[in-house]
Amino acid sequence: MQLLDVHKSFNVGTPIETEVLHGIDLTLFKGEFCAVMGPSGSGKSTLLNIVGLLDRPTRGTLTVCGEETTRLDDRALTRLRGHNIGFVFQYHHLISAFSAIENVMMPMLGAAGFPDAAMSERAAELLEYVGLTPWRDNPANKLSGGQQQRVAIARSLAMNPPVLLADEPTGNLDTKSADSVFELLRRFNREQGTSVLFVTHNPVLAQRCDKTIEVIDGTIVDRHRGAKAASDADLLL
């Protein structure tokens, strides 16, 4: 996963055109757990949305899993996103009309078109993994914030994506829930080799990542190396 000189402007072509990202270069290696820090409004979410193919850069290139994405159409981007990228947002964003387990099944269901037994098995496993088995059939909106966030994590892992993007997943949680959510992501990263971009304002959690980048006013100003560095070119996604 690599970004080269990525710029992003909003309201292009209008008097209020503003550039939010000013030439971001970023490489995320396979299995790397990278914290993204920086003040509010600095462009972290914008960056994640671009990395997650939800938004297109105004300029610059983005390569995901070896595929250059600037020229891909919406259909191709959607497929790439569905199979390679998991999202966790600050506001868990579950689909309230469905139960916990159905929410976890959703990405698989969308990709396959029809439900099947394998999907519900995998969803049950993931819920077990995030410790929510007793609540699997609860409606999504009848769970606590921490529980909902864990369902969202289980959902983001459903397609076993090589890249996980977490935009302040712990921002709305108390310290204890935040800790358990972080641990979940960390554990999955270790066990499955999933690369993670983890936006947080919590320096303690950032400290426990492989590396930290700091975004200020749309540029990456600082890169801290964490404990474990994965720099082998072979591991480049």
Partner 1 sequence: MLNRWTPFEWIIALRFMREGRMQTAFIISGVAIGVAVIVFMSALLSGLQSNFIRRVLSAQAHIQLLPPKEVARPQRDVEPGADNSVYGTIVQPPLQRVRSIDQWQAIARHIGAMSQVVVVSPEAAGSVLAVRGSASRAITMIGIEPTQYFRIVDIRDKIVRGTDRLNAADILIGTELASDLGVDVGDKLRISSALGASNTLSVTGIFDLGNKGANQRTTFVALHTAQSLLGLPGGVTGLDLTVRDVYAAERIAQRITAATGVQADSWIKTNAQFFTAINAQQTSNTVIRFFVALSVAFGIASVLVVSVVQRSREIGILRAMGISQGQILRVFLLQGGLLGMLGSIAGAALGAFALILWQQLARNADGTPLFPLSFEPVLFIAALVLATLTGLGAAVAPALRAARLEPVVAIRG
Ligand X SMILES: Nc1ncnc2c1ncn2[C@@H]1O[C@H](COP(=O)(O)OP(=O)(O)O)[C@@H](O)[C@H]1O
Choose one: 98-106, 127-135, 202-210, 229-237; the region binding partner 1 (CB under 8 A).
98-106
Q: What CA–CA distance (Å, rounded) separates 146 from 170? A: 9
**Which residue is listed with tokens 């519900």?**
120
Window contacting Mg ion (CB under 5 A); options: 13-21, 38-46, 121-129, 180-188: 38-46
The verdict on 202 binding ligand X (CB under 6 A) reads no
8 A C-beta contact, residue 35 and residue 205: yes
The yes or no reply on residue 212 touching ligand X (CB under 6 A) is no
Q: Which ranges of 130-174 would DSSP assign to H, the alpha helix?
A: 145-156
Token pair, residue 23, equals 């030439």
Which member of 26, 35, 37, 46 binds ligand X (CB under 6 A)?
Answer: 46
Q: Is residue 12 near partner 1 by the rule CB under 8 A?
A: no
Q: Which is nearest to 79 in space by CA: 185, 159, 182?
A: 159
Name the token pair of 4.
């080269």
Tell me the Ramachandran region of residue 138: left when phi exceeds 0, alpha when psi lies from -120 to 50, beta otherwise: beta
Map residue 3 onto helix, strand or coil. Answer: strand
Stretch that binds Mg ion, among 21-29, 37-45, 55-63, 219-227 (CB under 5 A): 37-45
**Which does residue 74 touch among partner 1, ligand X, Mg ion, none (CB within 5 to 8 A, set by kind)?**
partner 1
Residue 172 touches partner 1, criterion: CB under 8 A: no
Sheet with 85-88, side-by-side order of all strands: 85-88, 163-167, 195-199, 33-37, 211-216, 219-225
User: Are residues 236 and 68 in contact, defined by beta-carbon separation less than 8 angstroms?
Assistant: no
Which CB atom, from 70 or from 231, has the smaller least distance to partner 1? Answer: 70
From 1, 33, 34, 45, residue interacting with ligand X (rule: CB under 6 A): 45
Binding mask 113-142 for partner 1 (x = CB under 8 A): xxxxx--x----------------------
Name the residue nearer to Mg ion (CB basis): 158 or 164.
164
Which is nearer to ligand X, 55 or 179 (by Cβ)? 55
Partner that binds at residue 96, options partner 1, ligand X, Mg ion, none, CB closer than 5 to 8 Å by kind: partner 1
Amino acid letter at 51? V
- Give me the residue label for tokens 């070896």: 66
Residues forming the site for partner 1 (CB under 8 A): 45, 49, 52, 54-55, 74-75, 78-79, 81-83, 87, 89, 93, 95-98, 102, 105-107, 109-117, 120, 155, 159
